[in-house]
Structure 1
Amino acid sequence: MRFIDIEDYNPITMQLAMPIYDRMRRVLLTAGRTIHPNYLERIKAIGVSTLVVEDAESTGITLEEMLDMPTWMDTIAVVQQAFEDASNKKRLHIIALQRAVATLIKEVFAHKTIILVPTTSLSTGLVMYAHSVNVALLSLQIAKHLGYTQGQLRDLALGALLHDIGKAVTDQEEEHPLKGFDIIKENREMSLLSAHIAYQHHEWINGQGYPRKLKGQAVLDLPQVVGIANVYDHLLSNNKMPPHEALEYIMTKSDEEFSFKVVQAFVNSVPSYIPGTKVELHTGEQAIVSKINQNLQRPVIRFLTNGEEMDLAENPSVVIKRVLNNNQEDGK
């Protein structure tokens, strides 16, 4: 199982490993089947640009650290409903949100890390809500390394799920944090800290963020956690940046946009290379990442030539030189 760009799909050698959904969250194509060229064009037309497939080279790769699709889609539905309620000036369904938060916390703490499902694997109409779920998942993963209490975890997850809810009532980028703060604050069952996450997730400790240009310790830790998760998911989905490059990018923002403490927790939380990623080693050999053991930055790889596996954590002299696209394999 691995992620591929839809342009790299080969119906002869690949089959879907996970379903494809339309903007109403209905299954268009089920897992285990190939995609007819006519369907492929339809899928592209609704905005899907990433597929989860199985082929000979990814056999046995499970992506077990990824949230299962039904839970991901159910949580997306909860967030979508919250946005629609906010847009219609209705009170949010707090119980549904709290249940979603409890599920995400349980899932994150049951795994050693979290592999995000790309928002680009969904119809354009669901991307905003899927992004919010991914931000919540990654925020909780970072929080595991910061020792937050259960109450803080709940406030963090709720604020992360709703960090962009201001966009339900405004299309002005610099206005949405304040609008989101107001929406959450109006629902008294929610913590004021969750509201401040929506308010501050674009603030930077160097004072160059928005909407208030807060500086230093005036920017709370929880909004910084969500801010990093927000940037990371956008880099993966919008910029199509490989995880190791996105991680390195955020490391450059330490003590500039985000505190060193929060950036370090992020680095200790996310893998540089996710299973299914094809790589070239410094020796010129090609391999596929097969699993993540204890070291998130040094995965287990499987050589494409002979199928043998090597744990890079136990072989420090072996270095990944670059990530391969399909058209870079075998020197093409």
Structure 2
Amino acid sequence: MRLISTKSLKPGMVIGRTIWNGAGRPLLQDGVEISDIIINRLIKLHILYVYIDDQISQGIEVIETVPEKVRHQAIQEIENSFKELKKQTGKDITHCLDMKSKQFVSIIDDLMTYIFESKEIVTVLSDAFIYDEYIYQHSLQVTIYSISIARELGYNAEEIRQIGIGAMLHDVGKMLIPSDILNKPGRLTNEEFDTMKLHAKYGFDLLRNLHTISLLSAHCAFQHHERLDGSGYPRGLVDFEIHPYAKIIAVADVFDAVTSNRVYRSKMLPSEGMGIILEGSGTLYDERVVMAFSKTIAVYPNGSVLLLSDGRRGIVCKQNVEKPDKPWLRIFEENNIIMKATYEMDCNVTNISIEKVELDYVMSE
């Protein structure tokens, strides 16, 4: 299957991967032939990319690190818990969090099992599920990234569990932010942004007195917007003042934020998101964390069409575990001519570089 932008879809193309709605029901089933009505519907839903099945991508598989069913159940659990928290006040919120903590730990343990057992680098497809509210899917994806980084850094299982809990609840303070600010479709005013920034302290205050959650996990909520150079919030901490767990979640949080659709902007490709993280390495984000993250994430997901520096085009057919930014390609075009027979190339053993991702590529007639 091949990844393609919705604006480049043509009637007659065939959906290669099912898209699910927030209720866990198929929104668009794989195998369905695309029509103008479907294309318009996808665009209206702000779905930027879909997978299609076509001749040049035949046999290329896309497997998420966490299975769709497990991922959906986890997001539903996070959503139900957060919505229940939002109804509570005062000490009732703390009690509710304590009661929910076992469910959160159970989710973390399931995620750890899948991530630890996976022999592939992490692939998360944010367009596979369509949710009305960003925060629930974001919480899960940040958790998946954070666990993967922590494993790469060599943390033990209990430490990774604490990091996972901190990641899953890093935005829990947003439940105390007014909905009109939290879900505003445009840019926040300075005053509104000051209110939004309070979610870090609110989250810490909610979590630090819990008997069932480590204080270190609470600090993840408090410090995930701090930056090495002191430019972050809420306290403007610098490098040595920021807990190592929070440094992990900071990277995972930013990457997922820029590679996910928001009401006020379209998402970046994973390679573009990684570029943002690499640009801030050593100044905003911890270099060790950035390096670990770069080794765990699929920068070019399977099915992506890439243009090479020598003019050839290929589809990512499998990942290179040692060098995630140098995947294996199925070369299908040379000198703008579709080849009669494709061949595979390991980008890690050639001096030819990747020029750009071309998800708007359409085969010439």
Q: Which of these residues, 232, 251, 270, is aligned with residue 228 of structure 1?
A: 251
Instruction: Give TM-score scaled by structure 1 length.
Output: 0.91
Instruction: Give TM-score scaled by structure 2 length.
Output: 0.83
Q: Which of these residues, 192, 196, 221, is aligned with residue 198 of structure 1?
A: 221
Instruction: Please list, as runs of the form range in 1=range in 2, the aligned pairs for 1:226-305 lying within 5 A after superposition.
Output: 226-238=249-261, 239-294=266-321, 295-304=323-332, 305=339
Determine whether 1:3 maps to 2:26. no
Q: Which residue of 1 aligns with 2:359?
A: 325
Instruction: Please list, as runs of the form range in 1=range in 2, the aligned pairs for 1:1-332 lying within 5 A after superposition.
Output: 1-21=1-21, 23-89=22-88, 90=93, 91-92=96-97, 93-111=100-118, 112-118=120-126, 120-170=127-177, 171=182, 172-238=195-261, 239-294=266-321, 295-304=323-332, 305=339, 306-313=341-348, 315-327=349-361
The structure-2 alpha-carbon separation of the partners of 1:160 and 1:14, relative to structure 1 and needing over 3 Å to count, comes to same
Deviation digits for residues 208-247 of structure 1, max 9, x if unmatched? 1011111121111111111101111122224532322322
1:318 deviates by 2.5
Deviation digits for residues 260-311 of structure 1, max 9, x if unmatched? 2212212222233221110111111111111013331211100112321111
SS at match of 1:307: strand
Larger-gyration structure (1/2): 2
Deviation digits for residues 26-85 of structure 1, max 9, x if unmatched? 333333323444344444444433323333232212122442211111111111122112
The structure-2 alpha-carbon separation of the partners of 1:282 and 1:140, relative to structure 1 and needing over 3 Å to count, comes to same
Relative contact order, CA 8 A, sep 6+: which one is greater? 2
CA RMSD of aligned residues (A): 2.2
Provide the C-alpha distance between the structure 2 equivalents of 1:195 and 1:185, rounded to a whole number of angstroms. 5
Deviation digits for residues 134-170 of structure 1, max 9, x if unmatched? 1111111111221111111111111111111111120
SS at match of 2:277: helix
- C-alpha contact (below 8 Å) 1:15/1:55 kept by paired residues: no
- AA at the equivalent of 1:307: T
Provide the C-alpha distance between the structure 1 equivalents of 2:165 and 2:226, rounded to a whole number of angstroms. 19
The structure-2 alpha-carbon separation of the partners of 1:186 and 1:41, relative to structure 1 and needing over 3 Å to count, comes to farther
The structure-2 alpha-carbon separation of the partners of 1:42 and 1:277, relative to structure 1 and needing over 3 Å to count, comes to closer
* Structure 1 residue ranges without an equivalent (≥5): none
SS at match of 2:226: coil
1:312 deviates by 1.8
